[in-house]
Amino acid sequence: MSHFYTDDQISLRDTARRFAEAEVLPRAAAIDREDRFDRPLYRAMAELGLFGTSLPQAAGGSGFDTVGTCLVMEELARCSGAIGNAFAIPVEAALFLHHHGNESQKALIPGILDGSIVMATAMTEPDYGSDTASITTSARRTADGWVINGTKAWVTLGGVADRIMVFARTGKDAGHRGISCFMVDARQKGVSRGKNEELLGMHGLEDCQIVLEDVLVPGNALIGAENTAFKTAMGNFNFSRLLMSSMALGMAQAAMEDAVAYATTRKQFGGPIMGFQAIQFMVADMSTDIAAARLLIHHAARLCDAGLPYAKEAAHAKLFTTDMAMQHVSNALQIHGGNGYSRDYRIERLFRDVRLAQIYEGTNQIQRVIIARQVEKELA
């Protein structure tokens, strides 16, 4: 596929690959083991300009396209899914504020891009994950601004965030028509953080609950128009699904590389196990599905860059890529045999990290609902 990338896309991909192999991969096992946010590595990504890849140059970004951003994510996640995940947060936050923020909020973008401001987004709640329209966190208008109350769950980078974009119910209408988004300073009175969640994988992201108790924010903390945040969030989900698809793709690519390297050196029954047809068929299926996933992701990314609808295509990419990544990372572990179950091999970490991809940014069951509804509209 490199023949069809622009020179800028190839240069960006290669820059990300060199950085990931030199800086991310040597730290990946320690990040997983220690389960702590690697701030120096986060700042190093910022210094390289990676957080502004999709942001226009006029807004302080690098002015690359969505395909380029997906390529960066793939390369980072190939070396560490958690670092790929951390990369997505500022990329999405800067874009969201560029499109929907007021002047004071847009003034935060330079700090997001240089890594001095760590952002987080708080939408999910203990009782509401995929059912975003039913969140119960509330924001009540007062003479001084808004008072926010509620509990948010699974807030990625929540434990280290400086600013949090909080989605809360502001309207009287039930469902999606009464939801707004607010910029909250994580240090202000009434904001507290729960303990870091002990997760199966994706360690080092300081994932935690955020509790908001009578948090007073000024009127200009509102991001975008009142009661319209559900629509803007759904638009952002389409973009983020491409990043999560690319994250899963990078981990699947790493798993295939590790499986082939292991199978060509591991000898059983008188020769390398790569010579066994059972292993060859698993590798062939990996290669085919990885290539198909990359095409799906980049097709959707090109639709995004062209300003065309791509909700169905983003769901295609997310559903197919994350399911295939789970399957083939598992097969790659199987090729490693008993060694694949050991933390001495990267495949064990990949196996734990990739599982989140089928849940994150809308479960794969939700992706099927999205696709079916879009197909119904098209064929009605």
Q: Which residues are catalytic?
A: 361
Amino acid letter at 335?
I
Q: Which residues of 240-267 are buried (b: 16+ CB within 10 A; e: fewer)?
A: bbbbbbbbbbbbbbbbbebbbebbeebe
Quote the strand ranges of 179-259, DSSP E.
179-185, 191-193, 208-217, 222-223
Taking residue 223's Cβ as centre, other Cβ atoms within 10 Å add up to: 22
Q: What is the CA radius of gyration of the chain?
A: 21
Helix (H) or strand (E) holding 265: helix 229-265
Nearest CA to 78 out of 1, 8, 157, 16 is that of: 16
Degrees to nearest 5, angle at CA 262 with 257 and 265: 130
Phi, psi for residue 184 in degrees, rounded to 5: -120, 130
CA 254/CA 242 separation, integer angstroms? 18
Nearest CA to 83 out of 47, 140, 43 is that of: 43
